[in-house]
Structure 1
Amino acid sequence: MENLLNNVGQYKKQYLIKRLIQSGVYKKNNKHLYEWTLTELEEEYFSLKKEKINS
């Protein structure tokens, strides 16, 4: 079960990284996306999504 959760987490990270790159985000504060935690990726993704809705 733990392996399955890890795979899901990795899949989600890759999905978010792909979407952020498509939005023009490659790194922030000298930290590349692949170094970010899942939480950091989610926060940035939803922040960008919110900006697009409000603009």
Structure 2
Amino acid sequence: MANFLREAVEKKKQMYIQKLLNAGVYKVSDRQLYDLTLSELETIYKARVERR
């Protein structure tokens, strides 16, 4: 069960990373997207991409 949850979180992170990259977002406050948590990625996506 733990592996399933971990894989689901990683898959969702990759989805947000890809969407942000497609929108031209590569770094946030000198941090790479891959270093951010799922919650951080969701927040950044909603703030920068959905509001366009």
| Interval containing the TM-score (normalised by the shorter chain) | over 0.9
Q: Could you say what the CA RMSD is over the residues aligned between the two structures, in angstroms?
A: 0.6
Runs (4+) of structure 1 moved beyond 6 Å? none
* Percent identity for Structure 1 against Structure 2: 39
Note the 1:39-54 alignment, pairs <5 A: 39-48=39-48, 49=50, 51-52=51-52
Gapped runs of 5+ residues in structure 2? none
Paired residue total:
51
| Counterpart secondary structure, 1:4 | helix
Structure 1: where are the runs of 5+ without partners? none
- TM-score of the superposition, structure 2-length normalised? 0.92
